[in-house]
């Protein structure tokens, strides 16, 4: 089975999103704290490193497969809920909903692009939007990732990272797209 990992981190109001007062909750020997969830997913807290400029973050590691993926999805949902909404997501979501209600598809698409970028930023780190190209650029642990939102394509030199971003995009797209509720019941 394939080994998977997910890095969750970000900034909120100039503070590390994962911290709650103590910036370096490490054990006595300076090691990174870790817990195992359901004998399947290892959750490691990695404190900020001022020397490299890396913010604090949580790393999840698990063996790929049905059970591991389900437990990891649950852990990710809990961590993201605890971290709070990524910066800019509420504004972008409001703009998208307003544009959809007004029937302004161009503005809705632009706002959706910004919402996707905010959500990806919360999961993977720094993200920049090129509205004209309909793309999002990410930097994940120094690896460049380019997302063509219009075409639904992800370009990245690391296949594992590309697959993680693609999976996240699929889930995010399903979560933010409108659901038809006017279908007749059978």
Model confidence at 99: pLDDT above 70: yes
Model confidence at 102: pLDDT above 70: yes
Average model confidence (pLDDT) across the chain: 77
Burial call 6-28: b when 16+ CB within 10 Å, e when fewer: bbbbbbeeeebbbbeeeeeeeee
Model confidence at 52: pLDDT above 80: no
End-to-end CA distance of the chain: 41
Model confidence at 125: pLDDT above 70: yes
pLDDT reported for residue 22: 34
Mean pLDDT of the 141-147 span:
90
Of 31-35, 95-99, 117-121, least confident by mean pLDDT is 31-35
Model confidence at 133: pLDDT above 70: yes
For residue 141, with 0-12 CB atoms within 10 Å meaning exposed, 13-18 middle and 19 or more buried, which class applies?
exposed
Model confidence at 18: pLDDT above 50: no
Specify the higher pLDDT residue, 12 or 60: 60
């Amino acid at each position: 089975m394939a080994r998977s990992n997910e890095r969750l981190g970000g900034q909120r109001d100039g503070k590390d999103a994962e911290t709650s007062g103590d910036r370096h909750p490490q054990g006595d020997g300076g090691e990174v704290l870790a817990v195992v969830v359901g004998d399947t997913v290892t959750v490691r807290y990695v404190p900020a490193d001022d020397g490299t400029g890396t913010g604090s973050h949580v790393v999840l590691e698990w063996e790929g497969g049905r059970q591991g993926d389900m437990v990891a999805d649950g852990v990710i949902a809990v961590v993201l809920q605890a971290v709070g909404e990524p910066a800019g997501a509420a504004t972008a979501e409001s703009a998208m909903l307003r544009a959809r209600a007004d029937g302004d598809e161009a503005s809705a698409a632009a706002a959706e692009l910004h919402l996707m970028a905010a959500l990806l930023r919360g999961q993977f780190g720094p993200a920049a939007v090129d509205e004209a190209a309909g793309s999002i650029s990410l930097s994940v642990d120094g690896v460049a990732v380019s997302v063509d939102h219009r075409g639904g394509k992800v370009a990245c030199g690391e296949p594992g990272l590309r697959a993680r971003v693609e999976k996240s995009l699929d889930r995010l797209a399903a979560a933010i797209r409108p659901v038809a509720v006017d279908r007749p019941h059978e």
